[in-house]
Structure formats: C-alpha cells, structure tokens
Amino acid sequence: MRIIFILSMALTSFSAQLDARQGEEETQSSRAQRSFVTLALALGANGYNRVEGLPFEFGVTARSEGPEPFRGRAVTILRTAPAFGLDAVGYSIRGEKLFLGSRRLVVGAEGYSELRAIEGRGVSSIENSFSAAIFHTDYRDYYNRQGFVGYATYAPRNSSFSAGVEIRTERHDVIPSGNPESVFDNRKLWRAQPLVADGRVHSGSASIRYDNRERRRLDRGSGWLIDAEIMHAFGGDLTFTDVVLVLSDNMAGPPITGLPTMEATFTKASLDARRYNEIGDVSLNFRLAVGGVLNNEALPPQFQHALGGVGSLPGLPDFAKDPATMTPAMDCGARNFFVRTAGMNQLSANFFPFYGCDRYVLFQAQLEGYFGFEIADTDLDFRDEGLAVNLELIPRWIVFFDAAQAWALNNIGPFLRNDESRRYDAGGGIAFGDLGFYLGVPLAGDDKDVRFVVRLGGRF
C-alpha cells in the first residue's frame, strides 16, 4: 500500500514535468511551424478510491502548430485494484480544435470508459485520494460509464464570462466497493456503494460561468463567482439490478420486487453563486447553491444529491466515515438499510438502495483573516508538481455558518424516501493554505456533538 501511495505522488510529479516539457516544445514548434507528440503519464482523475484502487493514465498527447491548433489525447486508464465487475483497463480518446486564437473557442469530442463520481460533495480529488489512501475514508460514491461526448466551450478574452454546451450518449453500470488497502484501518469494510440504474441515457447540457474576482496572493480577492448549468436527458433505458433485502451480514431476506424502470427523460439544473468581500484585513464570503430536477419525478440515483459532513456541513454526521452508520446526514433515507444483488456471484455485494435527494439548497457564510504573523516567508506550493495543494506558512483563522435543506420527489418503487428538514451548523478553525483544522457543531436537533475535521482544500 505504501509503495502504491508513493507511486501515485511520483506520477503526479512526472505528469507535471511532462506538461512543462510539452510547453517548451509547443513554443519551439510554434516558432518552427511544426506538430509534436508527447508521452502522457498521470494519476487518474479520481485519485485513489475504494472502487479502482490507484488509477493512472498512460498514453500520448498531440498538438498541431499555429494560432488555431488541433490537440488530441489518447490514454489507457490502468487500475491497480478494480472492484469485481469493473475492467482493469479503461480509456479516454479526445480530440479538440481551437478557434479564434488559442482557447477562446474549443470544439471537441471524446470517447471514454471510466469510473465517474456521482458528486464531488465539496471534496477535491486530491483531498479524497489522501483520505482514502491513508485513513480508509472515501467521501465519494461512483458508477461506471462508457460513451461519447461532443462539446464546445467559449471563453472570450478579457471577459468574466465563459460558456459551454455538450451532448452525451453513454451507458451506466452499478459497481460495488472493492478491497484496496489503506495505511490505517484496513480491518474495516469499505462503505457500501449506492445502487444506481443500469442502462443507456442520452443527454444535452449547457453551462455558464461568471468570475470577476480580483485575485491576489494571500486571498481570493473580492468579486463574484457564479456557475450555472442545465441538463436535459432525452431518452434511454435505465433499470435496476434485481436485489434482496439484507437482514444481517450472513443472511439475505426476500427478493425486493417492484423496482421501476427509471425515467430517462428529465431536466435538472444547478446554480452556485459565491460572493467574496474584502473588508479591511478580513474576508467575508457567502455561497448559495441550489439544484435538482425541474420536473416532478424522482431522479435516477446517479443524478441525485446528498449533503452533510466534511464537504458541506462539517458539524453534521458524515456517512462516508462509517460503513455501518444508519444515521447519515442528508440523503433522503438512502442509507437506512442495505440491499444485496441477487444471483451474480461476487457481485452479490451490499449496496445502499439509492444515493440521495432530488432537490437541495445550501447556504454557507465564512469570515476569515490572518493572525498577523508568519511561520516562514516562503510558501510550500506543490501546484507545479501536479499535486494542486498549497500550504501557506502564514496561518489564518476561520469562522463559518452553514444551512441546508433537501427534498425527495416520490419513492423509487418499494424504496421509501423522505424530505430532509432544514439543518444548521457552525464552527471555526485554523488554515495553512489548503490545509485546515476545523471544529463544527450542529445547531438544530438533539445532537450537539462537536466534530473535528481536517481538510486539504478550501471550504469554498
């Protein structure tokens, strides 16, 4: 396990070195008006996780010359500990044409076979990777997807706006948790995966971003960051694997009948609006995130939402930490019991019956400032080494407040679902760049336990 973890860090560093060389070659080839191909070797997008183990990508990248170049990338995704039913090898083949000057308008297409996180849950890939590899805690849930996407993005120069559109056709498959090792707590079972709807889905989406923040070295600056997206699924066939109720670790109950064919025609949208304010020597920042289905049908589990814990409300219980917990934070009853797939050999693993809720709203407020001293005058910035982690040696204090609510629209066959009432938490901590130490406490209900959280990324 330790060798695998060290290898993952080496791969991210090697990837960054290759990117740097690619940049040098790009300058040279641009001057010489010629194309070039470089080797690609990098840690997989999900990082270390409980389904793939350590994924890494090996292949080639290519780029043509000129102000409107073509660039391509073909990589094999190699998995060190894939769960049963997941191929040890995936792939991604992507090609892009750049117009209107480099990166202003990009039109591209990609074919892929990859593991996909249902939600990031407010936790970055590198943070989740460290947590899974060291502490046996994976904050994300996953499904396997294979398909094709065509897309276009537009980012005008000297503008705060950017936009994108895409159209996808893909197949989704349920995958159980695997058995990769961690540095600590290897005797624990990994948390079960949610049951997702298998089959094909065809969709189109459009997104827009507005970012007018004035960035500075020690803070995010003042301004707005707004992300909005709308996605419409216009067809497909999504069904559930046959399952039985789990009565105990060694005993399965009767078959669960009445599992529906999920609606593959729906529209969902999301809005994430953040305001950053510098007030003297402190920053007062706000975030409002809302999203969910626009029609009145339950979403397939791989499109649902869950809140609570490290990524959104750190004062609330986090269902990622304990595979046996029956009191998760805000998932509309998805983790009240286990089901087990029937008649599929090793794939007869435990699953939760679905993932989460169909609609949600999350509000966050955060006040932060610097203590007025520094440990050293040099930051430990690993971004150039591919780790995307910045450790400032100037500590800052943080005080936060969060509120959230979520809703479920209809049951999923025999699986009963419930709305989640409004929940609040508050707390504070100390951060050294991306490394933060926080205490959080719920403000509603009988649970007033103080929870300690270590983060390797900003709250928002």
Token pair in block for residue 126: 């590198």
Q: Determine contact, residues 437/395, Cβ cutoff 8 Å.
A: no
The ranges assigned to domains in the chain are: 2-456
Query: What pLDDT, in 10s, does the model give residues 198-209?
Result: 999 999 999 999
What pLDDT does residue 22 have?
44
pTM of the model: 0.87
- 10 pLDDT higher than 80: no
414 is written with which tokens?
């025999």
Residue 448: CB partners within 8 Å, gap ≥ 6? Answer: 441, 442
Q: How confident is the model at residue 379 (pLDDT cuts 50, 70, 90)?
A: low
Asked whether the predicted pLDDT for residue 143 surpasses 90, the reply is yes
Distance of CA 440 to the CA centre of its chain: 22
Q: How many whole angstroms separate alpha carbon 175 and alpha carbon 115?
A: 9
Helix (H) or strand (E) holding 357: none
Does the pLDDT value for residue 394 go beyond 80? yes
Q: Over 80: is that where the pLDDT of 7 sits?
A: no
pLDDT at 6: 40
Mean pLDDT of 273-293: 94
Looking at the predicted structure, is the pLDDT value of residue 169 above 80? yes
- Using one digit for the tens of pLDDT, what is the confidence trace for 43-85? 898 999 999 999 999 999 998 888 888 999 999 999 999 998 8
Instruction: Report, as an integer, the average pLDDT of 316-328.
Output: 64
- Residue 387: the pLDDT is 57
Q: Which of 413, 371, 416 is nearest to 239 (CA)?
A: 413
What's the pLDDT tens digit per position in 26-47? 444 444 456 778 988 888 989 9
In order, the DSSP letters of 271-322 are EEEEEEEEETTEEEEEEEEEEEESSSSPPPGGG-B-B-BTTTBTTS--TTS-
d(CA 360, CA 105) in angstroms, rounded, equals: 33
Q: Is 176's pLDDT higher than 60?
A: yes
The answer, yes or no, to whether residue 408 has pLDDT greater than 60, is yes
- Which residue in the block uniquely carries the two structure tokens 């399965």? 252
- Report helix angle 125-135 to 2-32, nearest 10: 160
Tokens 């990508």 locate to 57
Residue with tokens 């989740």: 128
Q: Which sign does the torsion angle of CA 193, 195, 200, 205 carry?
A: negative
Is the pLDDT at 172 greater than 50? The verdict is yes
What integer pLDDT is reported at residue 35 of this predicted model? 72
pLDDT digits (tens, 9 = 90+) for 101-130: 766 899 999 999 999 999 987 898 889 999
Q: How far is CA 369 from CA 296, 328, 389, 401, 456, in A?
A: 43, 32, 20, 16, 18
DSSP 333: T
Q: What percent of the chain has pLDDT over 90?
A: 58
What CATH class is the domain 2-456? mainly beta
Highest mean predicted confidence (pLDDT) among 250-259, 266-275, 383-392: 266-275
Burial of 404 (C-beta count, 10 Å sphere; 0-12/13-18/19+): buried
Burial 33-52, CB ≥16 within 10 A → b, else e: eeebeeebbbbbebbbbbbb
How high is the pLDDT of residue 376?
63
Q: Which tens digits make up the pLDDT trace of 223-238?
A: 999 999 999 999 999 9
Q: Which two tokens stand for residue 19?
A: 């990117």
Computed over every residue of the chain, the mean pLDDT equals: 85
pLDDT for 4: 47
**Other residues' Cβ atoms within 10 Å of the Cβ of residue 131:** 25
* pLDDT number for residue 47: 92
